[in-house]
Amino acid sequence: MAATSVAMTQRDAIVKICGLSSPETLAAAIEAGADMAGFVFFEKSPRHIDLESARTLGLLAQQQISKVALTVDADDATLQDIVSALAPDYLQLHGKEMPARVAEVKARFGLPVIKAVGVATAGDVEAARFYEGVADVILFDAKPAPNAAVPGGAGVAFDWNLLRGVAAKDWMLSGGLDPENVAAAMRITGAHAVDVSSGVERERGVKDVAKIAAFVAAARLS
């Protein structure tokens, strides 16, 4: 499936369900009308999938939803294995990759790149500008604690008011979203694209089919 543009009106909000790891929950995301399916390749995460699972899920997703491969400071060999297995439409870099590394990954693999930026202060939002013109999409997520085992998916929100009037062209909102708060988050920030993981789970790392449907519906009605 061709990469989904996030430069949309709020009425046509783009929805990404991240951390999918089973055919059932991938099917639920597709059935609910989500635009993007995120697959995590990071062994410390409870949502991590192996390459064999990636091949299976990639085939199931084909032509129905955009596939996003989430990695954390992965080297080129690891990225190549993931690209070969999943055939993603996007690479999501969720680690400490600097702009030069983002540009290098984009050039090497010929895929659009989503760069996650942790936010706790206005300074973090300002720092994201260094990725403009390099990353295709900037994903604003809650900044993890210094000793956090994983850089996202913790169900923690940040102060959405920090994103009021954000200048980035193509960006997504993540961090602590769920079916109950996504509409408010979109109104406050003006986000046209949202990303959820733990907010649609029944337990850590295990997606809930009903919550996936509810989240997509709430985002589209905002």
Q: Active-site residue numbers? A: 18, 141
Cα(21)–Cα(126) distance, integer angstroms: 34
| Alpha-carbon torsion (81, 99, 20, 40), positive or negative | positive
Buried b (16+ CB within 10 A) or exposed e, 42-71: beebbbbbeeebbebbbeebeeebbbbbbb
Coil, helix or strand at residue 199: helix
Structure tokens, 23: 């055919």
